Structure 1
Amino acid sequence: MPKITYIEHDGTEHVVEVAEGLSVMEGAVKNAIPGIDADCGGACACSTCHVYVDPAWLEKLQPKEAMEEDMLDFAYQPRENSRLTCQLKVTQALDGLVVRMPEKQI
């Protein structure tokens, strides 16, 4: 199973195994990772699963679709490497993915 590292704003790291086919958000929720609120349950209708993807991984992810881009406009301090974890499907190619949470979710 792929391992994903979730890093809280304060630097606390959580390395968890996430089953292929789940989203990075579902992996966080199932493992009670603090900082991923997932208010809309993964429908890409909010920005409460916002993260900053480690730059080394950006090229390995599917590009952002228009809906995700729109929702990121509502995220707290979005950056070039901002993504919504509900839009990132876990595959074996993402084994070792590192994501950092913003200071807060809005």
Structure 2
Amino acid sequence: MIGEKIREQREMKKISQYAVAYAIGMSQAAYSKIERGETEVKVSHLYSIAAFLEISVYNLLPEAMASGTFEGEYLLKPLVVKLKELWYGWLVKRRMKHMQQKDQ
């Protein structure tokens, strides 16, 4: 189900599997398995994919998971989510910049 949501978002933005896979540091074949639901996606990859697609990680999660809260720490949740998005977004941008420099 997560793989389907990832595919939907990627296709809406007209981005290839190869581009996403390269940006997050994996092979296109491994990335394809995530979209097909053959492999579970690592949390770090999920955040990197969301950052590359410029969406919230919650857009990629099933509703039951996206609406969950940290027990007793619900006030920290937005901060933790934002920090992860910033971190993985920075990693993706760094990788894309490196890729562009290689192509030149």
TM-score, structure 1 as length reference: 0.28
> Taking CA–CA contacts closer than 8 Å with sequence separation of 6 or more, which of the two structures ends up with the larger relative contact order?
1
Quick check: which one's strand share is greater? 1
Query: Structure 1 or 2: larger helix share?
Result: 2
TM-score by length of 2: 0.28
